[in-house]
Structure 1
């Protein structure tokens, strides 16, 4: 009913178009105005749930799910691209109730719609996701958290297997203010270039932790600390400080041996 009433209201306005405009232009303008009228009416009549479900299915079909075991192979073994080209990867880091406290839904919806729109674009980047609830060690080994974007530019190796270091940019996202337009501006309009490339110790490919094979062990350690109950560190600190104070208040007597004799008994001069 809303669509038909809007069209009825639009038709009289269309009839008042200028008589001097050529017929072909009149028809084009008429269809244009009619389309605008329908577009303004349809969103009020059609629920958004089917659109979200469709976008989620399209995104699921084109994006890769990264894990601790597969992420390096997925990002670097692309037979479709030949050296010395580069491959751009946009990685959406999300989470659930544990790592995002249940507040990533809005960003995930915007991400799914963006991927569905951009996946058909020529020369589009590749898309991947990491769920930090399911892959906490990987997220800790990269020192990243949801919701955020990790933009990778990965050069393809040459014949001798040499290649420049991948460029990575870490971009946090606002939970309640990220929209399709936000991500479109970030990816298509290349706003990500305003973020300086990260070159620190947590760089997934050539940071100090990765070079010395410490990224995964450190990821496990940080994950273990995060799983630790909040009261346990306080108990340990209290126990250690009490032991230290007891040693300070009751120092052990120094044992002094004579020239070939036994040490004097405590309390004797």
Structure 2
């Protein structure tokens, strides 16, 4: 049965081959052979140390989104006030926001989280993927690769609490190592970074206090998606409309001032 099926298919194959140049046929056969060999070959084993570090990081870090970050990045509810909860958040990205160059910093982050989490009283860890969460990154006005270190005070009995201390730390895409992040946390080099107190502060900034951080983030995201030629067309249209109105105004005045015949 199988032989008869193949025999029936041979004329169609021969006809198709007569319509394709021999060089193209050979190229197609070579590509099929290469794909078959690639799919049959086992994948090269990954670095077990890096794989283990990534697994530890995944188990202890919180993946933050626009919907959950305010509920996740808080003080520890089991600790009595006054107390402060430290949060270390890695701002990550892929091809869209980090142009494919965050691999080195992500490797350093995973290995440092595995190291720091084993120490006494480590901070809590979070990660934001700006490719997946562009609105959240825009609402914080941050981009990858970078770190945000928060000191979050636990509210007192009357629900009052000091302002959240936020330190934004950009990371070098090529030179960041485990030692870089380890020194920031374990040696408390983050304390040398001046706290950020501007309008984009995620907790205490003016945009957050007036509920404008997310709407402004959507507007910025929308502008970033616009084609580069569209703003120029809009500006040209507005300027032409403005000039037409200015030219029409003197003509209208002269028409009103003209004496009746």
Q: Do Structure 1 and Structure 2 share a fold, with TM-score over 0.5?
A: yes
Q: After TM superposition, give the deviation of residue 83 of structure 1 in Å.
A: 1.5
| Preserved contact between residue 88 and residue 123 of structure 2 (Cα < 8 Å) | yes
| Preserved contact between residue 75 and residue 152 of structure 2 (Cα < 8 Å) | no
Could you list the runs of 4 or more consecutive aligned residues of structure 1 that deviate by over 3 angstroms after TM superposition? 248-256, 263-269
Partner of 1:16: none
Partner of 1:95: 93
Partner of 1:193: 191
Cα distance in 2 between the residues matched to 1:174 and 1:160: 42
The verdict on how the C-alpha distance between 1:90 and 1:247 changes in structure 2, with shifts beyond 3 A counting, is: same
TM-score, normalising length from structure 1? 0.75
Residue 122 of structure 1 aligns to a residue whose secondary structure is coil
Of 201, 223, 233, the residue aligned with 1:235 is 233
The verdict on how the C-alpha distance between 1:159 and 1:253 changes in structure 2, with shifts beyond 3 A counting, is: same
Cα distance in 2 between the residues matched to 1:67 and 1:215: 14
Residue 76 of structure 1 aligns to a residue whose secondary structure is coil
Partner of 2:50: 52
Q: After TM superposition, give the deviation of residue 165 of structure 1 in Å.
A: 0.7
Partner of 2:126: 128
| CA RMSD, Structure 1 to Structure 2 (Å) | 2.1
Of 180, 183, 186, the residue aligned with 1:182 is 180
Gaps of 5+ in 1: 1-46, 257-262
Q: How does 1:51-200 map onto structure 2 within 5 Å? A: 51-76=49-74, 78-200=76-198
Residue 157 of structure 1 aligns to a residue whose secondary structure is coil
Deviations 1:7-52 (A, max 9, x none): xxxxxxxxxxxxxxxxxxxxxxxxxxxxxxxxxxxxxxxx872211
Farther off after superposition, 236-245 or 109-118: 236-245
Residue 249 of structure 2 aligns to a residue whose secondary structure is coil
| Preserved contact between residue 95 and residue 132 of structure 1 (Cα < 8 Å) | yes
Q: After TM superposition, give the deviation of residue 228 of structure 1 in Å.
A: 1.2
Deviations 1:129-178 (A, max 9, x none): 01111111111111111110000000111111111111000011100110
| Preserved contact between residue 91 and residue 128 of structure 1 (Cα < 8 Å) | yes
Number of aligned residue pairs: 217
TM-score, normalising length from structure 2? 0.78
Residue 73 of structure 2 aligns to a residue whose secondary structure is helix
Gaps of 5+ in 2: 1-44
Cα distance in 1 between the residues matched to 2:222 and 2:76: 34
